[in-house]
Amino acid sequence: MEISELKFQVQLKIQKPVSEVFDAIYNPKKLVNYFTTAVASDSLDAGKTVLWGFADFAQGKPFPVKVEKCVKDELIGLSWPANEAGAPTDYRTHTDFVFEKLNENETLLKISEGSWRNSQEGLNASYGNCQGWMNFACCLKAWIEYGINLRKGAF
């Protein structure tokens, strides 16, 4: 069976209003509390390229993240260099955060990523990122609902 595109989706229900969940990802001052442990250079407005860095990976060296789309409380679409061994420098993956209001105090966050090469290396990279985005969602939930930083000391 031929796979036309390698992509995945993870999702998690968060017990906060959609506006708070959206802002926790969009706002760099909040994102650094549970995800980008070294730097988040700017808000995620469409057309911007921001820098994200992780103190627990690559010595905190930031990398560029292009914001493709941003619709308040609905969608954030990003792209960045693929996290795949031996990948060409112009090879990018695309990630969408979709915010679904379930009620006044519940949001379903769906995170999908795709555009890997249809190869064993692409498949391996997609598995790693799938794991990473589920970790992101859990860290966001713990931080926004309970004020707990799950990332601290995890890597």
Of 34, 61, 39, the residue nearest 50 (C-alpha): 39
Q: What is the pLDDT of residues 44-77, one digit of tens each?
A: 999 999 999 888 776 768 889 999 999 999 999 9
CATH no., domain 8-146? 3.30.530.20
Strand pairing class (106-116; 6-14):
antiparallel
Residue 4 has a pLDDT of 67
- Which segments of the chain are extended strands (E)? 6-14, 39-40, 49-53, 63-71, 75-81, 92-103, 106-116
Residue extents of the structural domains in the chain: 8-146
Q: What is the pLDDT of residues 17-36, one digit of tens each?
A: 999 999 999 999 999 999 99
Q: What is the pLDDT of residues 143-152, one digit of tens each?
A: 999 999 988 8
| Contacts of residue 120, Cβ cutoff 8 Å, sequence gap at least 6 | none
Q: How far is CA 147 from CA 30, 89, 155, in A?
A: 11, 38, 19
